[in-house]
Structure 1
Amino acid sequence: MQFLPLFFSLKDRPVLIVGGGEVALRKASLLVKANAMVHVISLNVKPELDALISKTGGQVYTRAFEKNDALGKTLIVAATDNKEINARIAKDAGELNIPVNVVDQPELCSFIFPAIVDRSPIIAAVSSGGSSPVLARILRAKLETVLPSAYGRLAQLAEKYRIQVKQTFSHVNLRRGFWEKVLTGPVADLVFAGKEHEAEALLSKELNSKTETKRELGEVYLVGAGPGDPDLLTFKALRLMQQADVVLFDRLVSQPILDLCRRDAQMINVGKARSDHLVPQEGINQLLVDYAKKGHRVLRLKGGDPFIFGRGGEEIQELTENGVPFQVVPGITAAAGCSSYAGIPLTHRDFAQSVRFVTGHLKNNTTDLPWSELAYTNQTIVFYMGLMGLPIICNKLIEHGMSKDTPIALVQKGTTPEQKVVIATLDTMVKTIENQEISAPTLIIVGDVVSLHSKLKWFDPNLSLSI
């Protein structure tokens, strides 16, 4: 993150703009809208800018900028058409520890202006860190279409009753439940329909009757986070991620996905690696029950799909035995995601009419699998958690009749920018990766469909390695 997004109160604070052209006018209009006291210094000032500053109580100085002009200012905007002057302003501001924005020179900025969606008091801001202002404006336009102006009126109504709601419901969970009901239910619908008086009457009625959902018993959301790419999340998964109070997440859940969870949620890492369980499975089960019984909405976030080698069945069995309500949201399992991003179809009319998902790491820490059933032709085998057992997998498949020339793929961190694909055969794969840095999570795909990788690979081909 190059810039930390902040919402800065400028009400009645002195702000300096150096420059008097069209760009300075745009910046001044924005700052005036934020109730800042704007002053302008420039040898030439547009009449519209002069009128705006005079109307709002600021001062216009038709002269060159001097360092002393920066003293006492809350922030400075350098908007001249002279890069040397802009650089000097940035230097002077930096020496005085005053935030400065230099138009079209992000490398000199200590703050930048985002593209803004104004639904006051709701404000949404989008920034590219100065790398692509046009892209930021495009994204702002998309936000404009999904944020009706009525959201501002809804926020004003909520602000009006905020203290009263806090006095009525002493527990934060009860307040949150009440507001969620108000802001997503009939009250919000009335505001969006332009019936603010009716909306306020209904809100007051619900507040007085205390008809909020009292969450004496919470709920658990068992959600599949997919193989790593945040764009592969389902809509339902994202909605539950953003409303959960507590999040228990696995090691395989990528940081970009965790960043989509509600910002104020309690985050608990229960990640498991081979022979290294940060929290034992029994402990995870108990945490889900305990937090739910305290009235929390608990998100159990798992890489891939909860019911495919994710031990989701064990967790909901514990919830059922304790009378805890739950929802299960499927995710794209690693086999589907990684094979697709590697350009390897799991089934193909000419190569494989069936596919088998197999764990390469069994409960008893062995790879004691039904090898004779796996060593079939016209079948694709996908091994989860098989990196440590790769030599055994290759040897056993050959030993039970599979050709040593059968292609095999190892997909590391599939669907992410760090994806790496290694292609070899059962006979050569172990030697192929001897001098390569391969780490979990990895997926192993065995079968003739792997031969299609060279033709069908489409995702970040520069990160793929074919042997």
Structure 2
Amino acid sequence: MTGLPVLLNLAGRPVILLGEGPPADAKRRLLERAGAAVTNDERATAALAIVAVEDDQEAQAAIERLRLRGILVNAVDRPALCDFTLPAIVDRDPVLVAISTGGVSAGLAAALRQRLEAILPAGLGELALTLKSARDRIRTRWPESGDRRRAIGAALASGGILDPLAAHGADSVARWLDGDDDGAKDRLVRIMLRSDDPDELTLREARWLAQADRVFHAPEAPLAILDRARADAERIATNDVPASPGPGLSVIVGYAA
């Protein structure tokens, strides 16, 4: 990764913005949408600053002064001088999708944002809020955390009752909770690698890895493939097929003989 993605709560917090013109105006609008208290006073107390100054020497001098005070700086159109970058954003409040190229190509990030805008339903945020309000009911139905995660994963999977890319009625979460299918079936599936390139995984194989509770893999299986699994999925290096793989979805990753 070129950096660690984080979401900052800027509500009411000062952020220094230096510069004038369209680039500075665009950053101001973004900061104000996030609730930041934007100031053009370089001497203000703040943790973050954005420098949208056109003159190179003036911009670099401001960046150096800010860094000496321990302030993290975003330098507009100067990726080599940035401590952090601002991603392209798809906003389905409270769902927020951020697309970053690490400052390499803002145009590519914008193009991806436009594609995702067309894919993600307008009601996605409402689905998230409904799931939040149903949290107690979800915990009551699935008291054990593993069962709960698997049930939620099955409901939100492609084609599931709560598929986030599909349109849903206001009662969709209630119907899911009142239904009989808990989505917590134990399964063991196998992925036979054709190469070390994760892009050669089929869509179904990529989904299996993303949903797996544990991954049994050949010791030589490439990290690029294994990193497609959930971060908290258990990884077990072995060449043997387990007799009792465990609850939930287990995935075996190996090479064809």
- TM-score, normalised via structure 2 length: 0.88
Distance 1:95 1:167, change over 3 A: farther
Where does residue 117 of structure 1 map in the other structure?
A: 90
Query: Does the 8 A contact of 2:90 with 2:98 survive in 1?
Result: yes
Distance 1:235 1:188, change over 3 A: closer
Alpha-carbon distance between aligned partners in 2 of 1:253 and 1:149, rounded to the nearest angstrom: 39
Where does residue 2 of structure 2 map in the other structure?
A: 2
Question: CA offset at residue 153 of structure 1?
Answer: 1.6
Alpha-carbon distance between aligned partners in 2 of 1:108 and 1:32, rounded to the nearest angstrom: 24
Alpha-carbon distance between aligned partners in 2 of 1:90 and 1:167, rounded to the nearest angstrom: 52
Alpha-carbon distance between aligned partners in 1 of 2:52 and 2:11, rounded to the nearest angstrom: 22
Within 5 Å, which residues of 2 pair with 1:143-182? 143-182=116-155
2:253 aligned partner, one-letter code: L
Question: CA offset at residue 14 of structure 1?
Answer: 1.1
Bigger Cα Rg: 1
Where does residue 84 of structure 1 map in the other structure?
A: 57
Secondary structure of the corresponding residue to residue 289 of structure 1: coil
Deviations 1:181-227 (A, max 9, x none): 4434335589714x31x324424534xxx752454xx2111112321
Secondary structure of the corresponding residue to residue 243 of structure 2: helix
Matched, 1:21 2:30: no
Distance 1:84 1:190, change over 3 A: closer
Question: CA offset at residue 299 of structure 1?
Answer: 1.0
Where does residue 291 of structure 1 map in the other structure?
A: 245
2:56 aligned partner, one-letter code: K
Distance 1:181 1:254, change over 3 A: closer
Q: Which of 203, 220, 225 is residue 188 of structure 2 equivalent to?
A: 220
Pick 1 or 2: higher relative contact order, CA cutoff 8 A, min separation 6: 2
Distance 1:99 1:163, change over 3 A: farther
Where does residue 323 of structure 1 map in the other structure?
A: none
Alpha-carbon distance between aligned partners in 1 of 2:164 and 2:23, rounded to the nearest angstrom: 40
Gaps of 5+ in 2: none
1:39 aligned partner, one-letter code: T
2:130 aligned partner, one-letter code: L
Question: CA offset at residue 108 of structure 1?
Answer: 1.0
- TM-score, normalised via structure 1 length: 0.51
Q: Which of 246, 255, 279 is residue 223 of structure 2 equivalent to?
A: 255
Gaps of 5+ in 1: 42-64, 271-280, 310-467
Once the two structures are aligned, what percentage of the paired residues are identical? 29
CA RMSD, aligned part only?
2.3
Question: CA offset at residue 37 of structure 1?
Answer: 1.6
Distance 1:225 1:76, change over 3 A: same
Alpha-carbon distance between aligned partners in 1 of 2:58 and 2:136, rounded to the nearest angstrom: 50
Query: Does the 8 A contact of 2:124 with 2:164 survive in 1?
Result: no
Where does residue 40 of structure 1 map in the other structure?
A: 40
Query: Does the 8 A contact of 1:188 with 1:199 survive in 2?
Result: no
Secondary structure of the corresponding residue to residue 291 of structure 1: coil
2:254 aligned partner, one-letter code: K
2:7 aligned partner, one-letter code: F
Within 5 Å, which residues of 2 pair with 1:254-403? 254-270=222-238, 281=239, 284-285=240-241, 288-292=242-246, 295-303=247-255, 308-309=256-257
Alpha-carbon distance between aligned partners in 1 of 2:64 and 2:79, rounded to the nearest angstrom: 14
With 114-123 and 162-171 compared, the bigger mean Cα shift is at: 162-171
Question: CA offset at residue 23 of structure 1?
Answer: 1.0
Alpha-carbon distance between aligned partners in 1 of 2:117 and 2:83, rounded to the nearest angstrom: 27
Where does residue 464 of structure 1 map in the other structure?
A: none
Alpha-carbon distance between aligned partners in 1 of 2:148 and 2:23, rounded to the nearest angstrom: 45
Query: Does the 8 A contact of 2:121 with 2:165 survive in 1?
Result: no
Secondary structure of the corresponding residue to residue 242 of structure 1: helix
**Segments of 4+ moved more than 6 angstroms:** none
Distance 1:36 1:245, change over 3 A: same
Alpha-carbon distance between aligned partners in 2 of 1:108 and 1:148, rounded to the nearest angstrom: 36
Question: CA offset at residue 238 of structure 1?
Answer: 0.8
Question: CA offset at residue 265 of structure 1?
Answer: 1.2
Query: Does the 8 A contact of 1:225 with 1:237 survive in 2?
Result: no
